[in-house]
Chains A and B, each alone.
Chain A
Amino acid sequence: MKHFTRLFVALDETTKTTEKVTAMSEYFSTCTPADGAWTVYLLTGRKLRQLVPTARLAECVKEQAGLSDWLFGESYDAVGDLAETIALLLPPPTNNSDVPLREWVEDRLMPLRSKPEAEQKQLLVKYWNELSTSERLVMNKIITGSFRIGVSQLLVVKALSKTSGVDEPTIAHRLMGDWSPTEEFFTGLFSSDTQDADASRPYPFYLAYPLEQEPEALGEISDWLAEWKWDGIRSQLIRREGKTFIWSRGEELISERFPELMEAAEQLPDGTVIDGEILAWAEGEVLPFNLLQKRITRKSLSKKLLQEIPVALMAYDILEHNGIDVRSQPMSQRRKMLVQLLTPGALDAAPSCRGQMNPIFRVSPSLMVATWDELAESRTNSRDLKVEGIMLKRADSAYGVGRRKGDWWKWKVNPFSIDAVLIYAQRGHGKRASLYTDYTFGVWHDGKLVPVAKAYSGLDDAEIRQVDAFIRQNTLEKFGPVRTVKPELVFEIAFEGIQHSPRHKSGVAVRFPRIARWRTDKPMQEADSLETLSSLINGGSSQ
């Protein structure tokens, strides 16, 4: 428990991923396999069913610390986390033990669930009395099943890979699905025989550069393939040896999040790797990105959620075909293979010859345009189609590795923008911790300014200093770290998308807001209104 608690504290004390990986890697290289297995289990967010009801835990600590209900309640409010509140309220321990994590979990905590109430309480008190404050926090978190400490599965994978020398995709593969935190499981993670994982291994993603010049500079349009830039989750779908794997661009296995894609993929021949975008998709239309996010972030995928948020794979490339790596073939060739595979017969003359492939797989359509002007014209429809703009891929390009300039370009639509008034300010972080750099902006509604966006970036250092000075001299009120600022300064706020949001006071939520420029030329009366902003929701024009 001490070893694991030290790891917990080390992970909690840094926001730097490299330090987190180092801390985990050091731990994994010295822990017993049995403790390692439980550590991986807990760090990857798997949890035990609540072992003791929270009300009973609270009751127990109240008795131990001699606290009334209201005083416990006030303490809980101040801390905001039950496991921690309990750890802080308990009287200091009188014993000291160093029982291994495995024994704690398997022999001490898990059996609590089936014990009668009196015995549960008696054991809790005995256990707490052996532990320091941070060890108690860990114990309580295991009991309440709320073990979140800012470590993603991806980081755990990196650390295990660093410890063992086994490559990351193999480790990620081995952490998939159901497994039990046993010694054998942990030893198996480090096995250097990677055959088990070979089938799941993705190719590195090829990434596009933003187009910074006019597209004419790219030469003849006939040398290029154009398609929409979809706003979803970039993914590789792998079908090998009768199994399917879906990887996100973050090289995380996300297969389990998309059971309908897994099912449909059974129709694909072995030796197929498709690159595309997973989209929330219904009735021939892209649904907002935040719906797709629910499919990733929700702990469990209910039937209801699967029905409410159907998905499709918008395929735009094929990397492996009939078991052969085809990445070096020209884009135009690969595209033909892809079309042939997913819409068999589509390239033949007669539509009647077309085969049946699950419509969940779609091929991202090519934009049939003859001139750059026509393409630019099409691009103006992006917002209506809920796409981010256009992708340009050189017809003879191979599928590269990483982000390279030259063959793939993304030509995004200009962001939306509005003029809004600075109304609240907060200090920044890091090197800007002593300056007011975090701003909230409002737009007009019924003669008042309602907050619509928070933005942290976009001004240069000189401007930040000026705005900071203005804020200090024009503070109307302070609420904790937040200052209400005299409304006066107008800024142009750019953002990528806008949606209805009942959770926001204004009724709208904007995506990726940032400061485009300081409109020193505009009086605040001329800032935009909430009505103007709302009108952008349904594909309104961007300026």
Chain B
Amino acid sequence: MSKLIYATDKGLYCEAGDFYIDPWRPVERAIVTHAHSDHARWGSNKYLCAEPGAKVLRHRIGQEAPIESVPYGQKLTLNDTTVSFHPAGHILGSSQIRVERKGEVWAVSGDYKLDPDPTCAPYEPVRCHTFITESTFGLPIYAWQSNDELFTDINAWWEKNKRDGKTSLLLAYALGKAQRLLKGVDTSIGPIYTHGAVESLNQVYLSSGVALPETARLSSMTRGTKFAGALVLAPPSAYGTPWQRQLNPVSAAFASGWMRVRGIRRRRSLDKGFPVSDHCDWQSLLKAIHLTGAENILVTHGYSQILVRYLQDQGLNAGTLSTQYEGEEETSAAEETSTDPDFKPAGDAAFGDVRDSADETETADYKIEVQE
């Protein structure tokens, strides 16, 4: 009998249930763990996701997309399998997919974190025989600080910039990270503005029932508005573009797990980095794997070889699984389009419209194989 879930050139496939999980090519039935662009791709005939994430997914892949959703925990029968969604704690609506066939349970975790995040349901361990996990930050050097420490740092940075008459430009993924940060910062420091890519997702979060502090879309402000003292949330790809000029004088900071390492921040010539991620740090990965009770661990994107070797040293049956998921990208522009629908380049913008096209997310085709 074949494996319950295996990688094909279209994505992770469950033959017994005849569905794909987070396929990277169009398929008949796609089960989607969450709406980040490397997991939720356009063009499949049917999509299934967890209920809290339906609006976000619709926003990302189109209003007309054939999306069905189910509440967390509800069991569905898909051909020979029983499928259910369980919170992954990554972003709003993010899920682990539990697949059961004749008593054998697999869990595909997508992207997940164990740290608390008030914008989404907390991670829930899923007991299983085989656990498919990512390993974006699968090295012991990655250890996140608590939310308290993180926001103390961010607030202090914002206040200092305010004192210095600067705008605080906080660069973060438009989906998930931006809302998590927004919910955590001290709104009494000053006004908060958003890049269009962030604002439109804020609206989706609001309409999904997640309360967020008040923000204003930067481009809706009248020309000549001064942003000194304000916090501006924008996707990383907005960094260094003509769009940013209106914020001068500005201090830019990138909120990403990669910022934990000084060299990575410096190579990107960023002044400030806040190490914060919606992925697991090393200890969380180990804890999550332990909590599943799984005897087989398949590791996808990230430091997979290292995590696999470590788990094998611990006596677990671990192997890597090649996918096209990207985790948290180290380069600024690589994760998602930052298109601000309202932004029109000013007439004097030296480079006109230089915002990144979506080509960064299209990875060249390559062979998928399972290595164990």
Check if B140 sits within 8 Å of A75, measured CB to CB.
Answer: yes
Knowing A71-B306, A79-B261, A80-B263, say if A429 contacts B269 (CB, 8 Å): yes
Check if B262 sits within 8 Å of A430, measured CB to CB.
Answer: no
Taking the complex as formed, is B124 at the interface, i.e. its CB lies under 8 A from any CB of chain A? no
Taking the complex as formed, is A67 at the interface, i.e. its CB lies under 8 A from any CB of chain B? yes
Name the distance in Å between A242's Cβ and chain B's nearest Cβ. 46
Please give, as numbers and ranges, the residues of chain B lying within 8 Å of A435 by CB-CB distance: 351, 354
Please give, as numbers and ranges, the residues of chain B lying within 8 Å of A55 by CB-CB distance: none
A84 and B354 alpha carbons, distance in the complex (Å): 36
Taking the complex as formed, is B365 at the interface, i.e. its CB lies under 8 A from any CB of chain A? no
A58-94 vs B, CB cutoff 8 Å, 1 = contact: the mask equals 0000000101101100110011110011001100100
B295-320 vs A, CB cutoff 8 Å, 1 = contact: the mask equals 00000000100100110010000000
A85 and B143 alpha carbons, distance in the complex (Å): 12
Name the distance in Å between A412's Cβ and chain B's nearest Cβ. 29
Check if A472 sits within 8 Å of B359, measured CB to CB.
Answer: yes
Taking the complex as formed, is A298 at the interface, i.e. its CB lies under 8 A from any CB of chain B? no
Knowing A13-B271, A88-B261, say if A68 contacts B313 (CB, 8 Å): yes
B324-351 vs A, CB cutoff 8 Å, 1 = contact: the mask equals 0000000111000000000000000011
Check if A434 sits within 8 Å of B141, measured CB to CB.
Answer: no
Please give, as numbers and ranges, the residues of chain B lying within 8 Å of A85 by CB-CB distance: 141
Taking the complex as formed, is B74 at the interface, i.e. its CB lies under 8 A from any CB of chain A? no
Check if A88 sits within 8 Å of B141, measured CB to CB.
Answer: yes
A68 and B68 alpha carbons, distance in the complex (Å): 47
A427 and B272 alpha carbons, distance in the complex (Å): 20
A242-271 vs B, CB cutoff 8 Å, 1 = contact: the mask equals 000000000000000000000000000000
Taking the complex as formed, is B209 at the interface, i.e. its CB lies under 8 A from any CB of chain A? no
Check if A78 sits within 8 Å of B261, measured CB to CB.
Answer: yes
Q: Output the nearest chain A residue to B267 by Cβ-Cβ distance.
A: A481
A374 and B273 alpha carbons, distance in the complex (Å): 60
B152-184 vs A, CB cutoff 8 Å, 1 = contact: the mask equals 000000000000000000000000000000000
Taking the complex as formed, is B240 at the interface, i.e. its CB lies under 8 A from any CB of chain A? yes
A528 and B141 alpha carbons, distance in the complex (Å): 47
Taking the complex as formed, is B357 at the interface, i.e. its CB lies under 8 A from any CB of chain A? yes
A74 and B307 alpha carbons, distance in the complex (Å): 11
Check if A88 sits within 8 Å of B351, measured CB to CB.
Answer: no
Please give, as numbers and ranges, the residues of chain A lying within 8 Å of B143 by CB-CB distance: 88, 92
With beta carbons under 8 angstroms apart, the residue of A71, A137, A429 that contacts B140 is A71
Please give, as numbers and ranges, the residues of chain A lying within 8 Å of B141 by CB-CB distance: 75, 78-79, 85, 88-89
Knowing A13-B272, A75-B141, A433-B241, say if A84 contacts B262 (CB, 8 Å): yes
Q: Output the nearest chain B residue to A431 by Cβ-Cβ distance.
A: B240
The A contact surface, by secondary structure, is: helix
A343 and B141 alpha carbons, distance in the complex (Å): 64
A137 and B263 alpha carbons, distance in the complex (Å): 13
Q: Output the nearest chain B residue to A12 by Cβ-Cβ distance.
A: B262
Please report which residues of chain A, range 470-484, place their CB below 8 angstroms from some CB of chain B when the two chains form the complex. 472, 478, 480-481
Check if B310 sits within 8 Å of A71, measured CB to CB.
Answer: yes
Knowing A15-B269, A89-B140, say if A81 contacts B240 (CB, 8 Å): no
Taking the complex as formed, is A500 at the interface, i.e. its CB lies under 8 A from any CB of chain B? no
Q: Output the nearest chain B residue to A92 by Cβ-Cβ distance.
A: B143
Knowing A88-B143, A433-B241, A434-B333, say if A81 contacts B263 (CB, 8 Å): yes
Check if A84 sits within 8 Å of B261, measured CB to CB.
Answer: yes
Check if B260 sits within 8 Å of A88, measured CB to CB.
Answer: yes
Q: How many residues of B contact A (CB 8 A)?
A: 36
Taking the complex as formed, is A126 at the interface, i.e. its CB lies under 8 A from any CB of chain B? no
Taking the complex as formed, is B352 at the interface, i.e. its CB lies under 8 A from any CB of chain A? yes
Q: Output the nearest chain B residue to A80 by Cβ-Cβ distance.
A: B263
Check if A433 sits within 8 Å of B351, measured CB to CB.
Answer: no
Q: Output the nearest chain A residue to B310 by Cβ-Cβ distance.
A: A71
Q: Output the nearest chain B residue to A460 by Cβ-Cβ distance.
A: B350
Knowing A15-B271, A68-B313, A465-B351, say if A481 contacts B139 (CB, 8 Å): no
Check if B261 sits within 8 Å of A431, measured CB to CB.
Answer: no
Taking the complex as formed, is A29 at the interface, i.e. its CB lies under 8 A from any CB of chain B? no
Check if B351 sits within 8 Å of A74, measured CB to CB.
Answer: no
Name the distance in Å between A82's Cβ and chain B's nearest Cβ. 12
Name the distance in Å between B276's Cβ and chain A's nearest Cβ. 14
Taking the complex as formed, is B239 at the interface, i.e. its CB lies under 8 A from any CB of chain A? yes
Taking the complex as formed, is A432 at the interface, i.e. its CB lies under 8 A from any CB of chain B? yes
**Most B C-beta atoms less than 10 A away, residue of A71, A81, A429, A430:** A71
Please report which residues of chain A, range 432-451, place their CB below 8 angstroms from some CB of chain B when the two chains form the complex. 432-435
Taking the complex as formed, is A464 at the interface, i.e. its CB lies under 8 A from any CB of chain B? yes
A75 and B333 alpha carbons, distance in the complex (Å): 26
**Most B C-beta atoms less than 10 A away, residue of A13, A71, A427, A481:** A13
A12 and B355 alpha carbons, distance in the complex (Å): 29
Taking the complex as formed, is A178 at the interface, i.e. its CB lies under 8 A from any CB of chain B? no
Please give, as numbers and ranges, the residues of chain B lying within 8 Å of A430 by CB-CB distance: 240, 269
Taking the complex as formed, is B15 at the interface, i.e. its CB lies under 8 A from any CB of chain A? no
Please report which residues of chain A, range 85-136, place their CB below 8 angstroms from some CB of chain B when the two chains form the complex. 85, 88-89, 92
A79 and B237 alpha carbons, distance in the complex (Å): 24
Taking the complex as formed, is B26 at the interface, i.e. its CB lies under 8 A from any CB of chain A? no
Please report which residues of chain A, range 453-491, place their CB below 8 angstroms from some CB of chain B when the two chains form the complex. 461, 464-465, 472, 478, 480-481
B351-368 vs A, CB cutoff 8 Å, 1 = contact: the mask equals 110111101000010000
Taking the complex as formed, is A191 at the interface, i.e. its CB lies under 8 A from any CB of chain B? no
A461 and B351 alpha carbons, distance in the complex (Å): 6
Taking the complex as formed, is B43 at the interface, i.e. its CB lies under 8 A from any CB of chain A? no
Name the distance in Å between B229's Cβ and chain A's nearest Cβ. 18
Taking the complex as formed, is A329 at the interface, i.e. its CB lies under 8 A from any CB of chain B? no
Name the distance in Å between A13's Cβ and chain B's nearest Cβ. 5
A295 and B302 alpha carbons, distance in the complex (Å): 44
Knowing A15-B271, A74-B306, A79-B141, say if A433 contacts B332 (CB, 8 Å): yes
Q: Output the nearest chain B residue to A81 by Cβ-Cβ distance.
A: B263
Check if B352 sits within 8 Å of A465, measured CB to CB.
Answer: yes
A-B contact sample (4 more), CB < 8 A, given A71-B140, A79-B263, A434-B240: A71-B310, A89-B140, A89-B141, A435-B351
Q: A-side interface residues toward B, CB under 8 Å?
A: 12-15, 65, 67-68, 70-71, 74-75, 78-81, 84-85, 88-89, 92, 137, 427, 429-435, 461, 464-465, 472, 478, 480-481
